[in-house]
A and B are shown apart, each in its own frame.
Chain A
Amino acid sequence: MRTALFVTCLNDALFPRSGQAAVSLLRRLGVEVDFPSGQSCCGQMHWNTGYRAETARLARHFVDVFEGYDAVVVPSASCGGMPAEAYALAAESVGDAGLVRDVRALAPRVHELTTYLTDVLRVEDVGAYFPHRVTYHPTCHSLRAAPVGDRPYRLLRAVRGIDFVELPAQEECCGFGGTFSVKNPAVSGAMNGDKARHVLETGAAVLAAVDNSCLMNIGGRLARDGHGVRPMHLVEILARTPEDGPLPGLPVAATEANR
Chain B
Amino acid sequence: MSRTFVGWPAFPEAAVAATSDEQLRANVTRATGTIRAKRARLVAERPDWEDLRDSAAALKNDVLAHLDSYLLQVEQKVTAAGGAVHWARDAAEANRIVTDLVRATGEREIVKVKSMLTEEIGLDNALEEVGISARETDLAAAIVQLGDDLPSHVVVPALHRNRAEIRDIFVREMGRHGRPAPEGLTDDPPQLAEAARLHMREKFLKAKVAVSGANFLVAETGTAVVVESEGNGRMCLTLADTLISLVGIEKIVPRWQDLEVFLQLLARNATGERMAPYTTTWTGVIPGDGPQTFHLVLVDNGRTRALADEVGRQALRCIRCGACMNICPVYERTGGQAYGSVYPGPIGAILNPLLKGPDDPQTASLPYASSLCGACNDVCPVRIRFTDVLLELRHQVAEGDAKVKHPAEKAALRAVGAVMDHPAAWNAAVRAAGKAGPLVPKNRLPGPLGGWTDSRRTPDIPKESFRAWWKRTEGGSR
List residues of chain A with CB under 8 Å of any chain B CB. Answer: 7, 9, 11-17, 19-20, 23-24, 27, 33, 35, 37-38, 40-41, 43, 45-54, 57-58, 61, 93, 140, 143-145, 171-173, 175-193, 216-217, 219-221, 223-224
Of B161-169, B259-267, B388-396, the segment with at least 4 beta carbons within 8 Å of chain A is B388-396
Interface centre among A13, A51, A52, A176 (most CB of B within 10 A): A13
Q: Which residue of B lies closest to A78 (CB)?
A: B372
Closest 8 CB pairs of A and B: A185-B451, A177-B371, A220-B456, A50-B394, A50-B398, A173-B373, A189-B455, A16-B466
Which of the four size classes fits the interface of chain B? 35 or more
Q: Mark B333-369, 1 if CB is under 8 A from A, else 0.
A: 1100000000000000000000000000000000111
Determine if A46 and B476 form an interchain contact, defined as CB atoms under 8 angstroms apart: no
A191 to B470, CA, bound (A): 36
Chain B positions 430-478 with a Cβ under 8 Å from a chain A Cβ? 430, 433-434, 443, 448-449, 451-452, 454-459, 461-462, 464-467, 469-471, 475-476
- Among the 9-residue stretches B69-77, B190-198, B199-207, B416-424, the one with 4 or more Cβ atoms under 8 Å from chain A is B416-424
Min CB distance, A166 to chain B, in Å?
A: 18
Asked whether A187 and B426 contact (CB < 8 A) given A40-B421, A144-B378, A217-B456, the answer is no
A40 touches B373 (CB 8 A): no
Is B448 within 8 A of A176, CB to CB? no
Chain B residues lying within 8 Å of A183, measured Cβ to Cβ, are 12, 368
B465 touches A16 (CB 8 A): yes
Which residues of B are found within 8 Å of A7, using beta-carbon distances?
466-467
Q: How far is the CB of A173 from chain B (nearest CB, A)?
A: 4
Task: Name the residue of chain B whose CB is nearest to the CB of A12.
Answer: B466
Q: Which of B15-23, B178-186, B294-302 is the interface stretch?
A: B15-23
State whether A182 and B451 are in contact (beta carbons under 8 Å apart), knowing that A12-B466, A220-B458 are contacts in the complex: yes
Instruction: Provide the residues of chain A in CB contact with B458, threshold 8 Å.
Output: 220
Contacts of B19 in A (CB 8 A): 186-187, 189-190
Also in contact, A181 and B452, with CB within 8 A (given A12-B466, A16-B465, A23-B475): yes
A50 pairs with B395, CB closer than 8 A: yes
Residue from the list A13, A15, A189, A191 in contact with B454, Cβ < 8 A: A189
**Per a CB cutoff under 8 Å, which of A14, A185, A187 touches B330?**
A187
Knowing A16-B466, A52-B399, the reply to whether A190 touches B25 (Cβ < 8 A) is: yes
Question: Known interface pairs A220-B458, A223-B457. Does A40 touch B469 (Cβ–Cβ under 8 Å)?
Answer: no
The interface of chain B, by Cβ under 8 A from chain A, is 11-12, 15-16, 19-20, 25, 329-330, 333-334, 367-375, 377-378, 391, 393-399, 409-410, 413-414, 416-417, 419-421, 423, 426-427, 430, 433-434, 443, 448-449, 451-452, 454-459, 461-462, 464-467, 469-471, 475-476
Complex contact A173–B398 (CB within 8 A): no
Query: Which of A12, A15, A58, A192 is close to B467, meaning CB atoms less than 8 Å apart?
Result: A12
Given contacts A33-B475, A49-B409, A180-B372, 4 further A-B contacts (CB under 8 A): A13-B434, A48-B394, A172-B375, A187-B369
Are B459 and A14 neighbours in the complex by a CB distance under 8 Å?
yes
Determine the distance from Cα of A217 to Cα of B451 in the docked complex, in whole angstroms: 13
The CA-CA distance from A171 to B36 in the complex, in Å, is 14
Closest B residue to A7 by CB, please name it.
B466
Contact sample, A vs B, 27 pairs, CB 8 Å cutoff: A7-B466, A13-B434, A16-B462, A20-B466, A20-B476, A48-B391, A49-B413, A50-B393, A50-B394, A50-B399, A51-B413, A54-B417, A58-B421, A140-B375, A144-B378, A176-B371, A179-B368, A180-B368, A181-B452, A183-B368, A185-B451, A186-B15, A187-B369, A189-B456, A217-B456, A220-B456, A221-B457
